[in-house]
Structure 1
Amino acid sequence: MAVLCLFLLLFVFMFLGVPVAISLGLSGAVSILMFSQDSVSSLAIKLFETSDAYTFLAIPFFLLSGAFMTTGGVAQRLIDFANACVGHIRGGLAIVLILAPIFFPIAMKLGIDPIHLGIVMVVNMEIGLVHPPVGLNLFVTSAVTGLTLGQTIRAAMPWLMILLVFLIMVTYLPFISLALPHWLGM
């Protein structure tokens, strides 16, 4: 019943034109007040206790760094560089979606197997996800395990080195990535 009330209130607030962030907050607060056995003061205390988690603080700090980069002109230079590389498409997934079809015919002309190209691109993307300081998987792992971000980075470094060695091996020794497809007759 509480979940039904939560979603019903969310959609009602959004239908009335309330901004999404405020709709989420209001529907959550009303649902908690209606269906929770805790007092309002204990909910406020819990809210402030969870606000010291650095994973929640990452969002405002990302916004703050974006504001600094925008006012300093760094963001515009990065956008200009991305435009010079891939045109008007922004974002990691968009870059991969745009560059993969561009690289595919070039790779085929050079005699590079498409399976090999795909494996090299996927390993590169995974290295980007665990590479400090912006690797999303580092923040998720840190939040799930309860370790600090520094401890998570130190724990991920051996795996990152293994990924880098694997990338070098797969890139320069293509038979490693092509052995299984060849054995299966692909």
Structure 2
Amino acid sequence: MAWALREHPNLNVLINNAGIQRRIDLRAGEEALTGGDAEISTNLTAVLLPVLQSRPAAAVVNVGSGLGIVPVAAIPVYSATKAALHAYTRCLRHQLRGTSVRVFDVLPPAVDTELDQGARAARGETARTVSPEAVAEAFWQAWCRDQPVVAVGMVKVLLCMSRLAPDFIFTKLNSLVKL
């Protein structure tokens, strides 16, 4: 926080796009969860809220994941932290209503970044991904319309299906990913 304020004294927008994603087989017991603290803290925390509240106009943009809506069993901690971030963002938006801070929840599908890219290739998976530019464009459109929840691409389907047929969409999505 000190670095951010020193380098950017007029900071008024926080884009929280941190993420660690580890494949974990929970059947392996306690050893499988080693390192989980870093995954949880990275995926769920990072807010300069006191500073942002002092600005006449500010925003928090939390980049979650469609896996926070429908989890993938092979990456349970990542899925759980993104679900927690989704809930946290909703609570934050509610608590900050009537203030100068806008709160956005960006929910992309798999994005073509370094996150899990090597592991996907090693597993022979050719996951459909969207470009970072497509996520940025979807967010910008939502920003201009003051639309707080930004479901990108196939996440629109996940949101709908998670309400209509949650077991079906969970089973279908998890049948596409090897445990």
- Shared fold per TM-score greater than 0.5: no
Q: TM-score range by the shorter chain?
A: under 0.3
More strand by share: 2
More helix by share: 1
What's the TM-score, normalizing by structure 2? 0.25
Which protein has greater RCO, CA pairs closer than 8 Å, 6+ apart? 2
